[in-house]
Amino acid sequence: MSRCKPVEWKEVFYARNVELGIVAHCHECTSHAPDKNGYPKCKRDGFTRLHRWLWHQLTGSSPEVVMHKCDNPSCVNMAHLQEGTHRDNVVDMYVKGRGHHNQNTAPMREAARVVRALFTDVQVREIRRLFNSGAYSQKVIAKRFSASQATISGVATGRTYSSVLNCDGTPYKPIPAVWHGRKLSDEVVVEVLRMRQDGLSYAELGKLFGVSNVTIGNIVRRELCKSCTGEYK
């Protein structure tokens, strides 16, 4: 019996993972060639895609679909994988804004119907209020409403339920500079950026400044603190 080819990967940081509230780094496979859709190929125990085989090895199950939370088909980070159905996969695609160029297909219309049926207009406004208050993370809100974090992200950022207006009748616009927890001054933000450049991890910076890893990730992405990044070289 021949030995299986070892799985090798490189760690790659993606800011979008921080936005999605998952582990920031993908483990992009370097040992197995990708198929036409970007998924690393393998031929083991009846599986043709590496991430499905790895999931089976970890859990012993063979679900209908093994989904990538990070939307990166080359990723083999087990923390980025979850099992689901084909319907779950299409709904996830719709919520995250993937495949919207195919909105008129039957699966995407079904996904839109499923997502719209999840919340009432009152619930949508409450989700937005909680998120924009800065006191609640998407994960906490998702637990409160018995929904996935990706679904809450779609509502909070306005990617879904865009037709639901504010109570005063104005279109919804998410507050870009939401810090989940305490707010940091511009001076502290600049210091965070400098210390991150020096090699400190998100966890180290979060503990040092008393904020979450997600907040540190948002700062590093700079889109939440554009007004103060001029000092950062």
**What is the residue-level pLDDT of the chain in tens, covering all 233 positions?**
335 688 999 999 887 787 677 888 999 999 999 999 999 999 888 999 999 999 999 999 999 899 998 989 999 999 999 988 877 777 777 677 665 545 556 655 666 666 666 788 889 999 988 888 766 777 788 888 888 777 888 888 887 888 888 888 888 887 654 444 445 666 677 777 877 887 888 887 777 766 677 777 777 776 444 544 444 43
pLDDT score for 106: 64
What's residue 116's pLDDT?
Answer: 64
SS3 142: helix
Report the amino acid identity of residue 214. V
Q: How far apart are CA 78 and CA 14, in angstroms?
A: 16
Q: Looking at the structure, do residues 42 and 71 belong to the same domain, yes or no?
A: yes
Determine the Cα–Cα distance for residues 140 and 201; give it in Å rounded to an integer.
Answer: 24
Which of 56, 84, 112 terminates a domain? The answer is 84
Q: Give the β-pairing of 81-84 and 47-49.
A: unpaired
- Using DSSP bridges, classify how beta strands 65-68 and 81-84 pair: parallel, antiparallel or unpaired: antiparallel
Asked if 19 and 78 sit in the same domain, the reply is yes
**Residues 6+ positions from 50 with CB-CB distance below 8 Å:** 7, 29, 32, 39, 40, 41, 42, 76
166, 192: one domain: no
What is the model's pLDDT at position 67? 92
Specify if 90 maps to a domain. Answer: no
pLDDT of residue 93: 74
Question: Could you report the per-residue pLDDT of 72-109, keeping only the tens digit for each?
Answer: 999 999 999 998 887 777 777 767 766 554 555 665 56
Q: How many angstroms separate the CA atoms of 232 and 203, rounded?
A: 21
Q: Are both 26 and 79 inside the same structural domain?
A: yes
Structural domain contains residue 16: yes
CB distance 201 to 25 below 8 Å: no
CA distance between the termini of the chain: 55
Residue indicated by tokens 């707010």: 183
pLDDT at res. 75: 96
Q: CA 151, CA 144: separation in Å to the nearest integer?
A: 13
Residue 82 pairs with which residues in a beta bridge?
67
Residue 53 located in a structural domain: yes
96, 69 Cβ separation under 8 angstroms: no
Is residue 125 included in any domain, yes or no?
Answer: yes
pLDDT of residue 97: 66
Query: Structural domain of residue 151, as residue ranges?
Result: 120-175
Helix and strand numbers (H, E) in the chain are: 10, 6
Output b/e per residue, 102-141; b: 16+ Cβ within 10 A: eeeeebbeebbebbeebbeeeebbbbbebbbebebbbbeb
164/209 same-domain check: no
Look at residue 96 and tell me if it is in a domain: no
For residue 205, give both structure tokens.
């910076």
Task: Give the count of domains, the chain.
Answer: 3
Regarding whether 204 and 170 lie in a shared domain, the answer is no
Tell me, yes or no, whether 136 lies in a domain.
Answer: yes
Same domain assignment for residues 199 and 161: no
* pLDDT reported for residue 227: 46
In a domain, 107, yes or no: no
Residues 148 and 196 in one domain: no
108 occurs within a structural domain: no
Q: Are 55 and 45 in contact (CB under 8 A)?
A: no
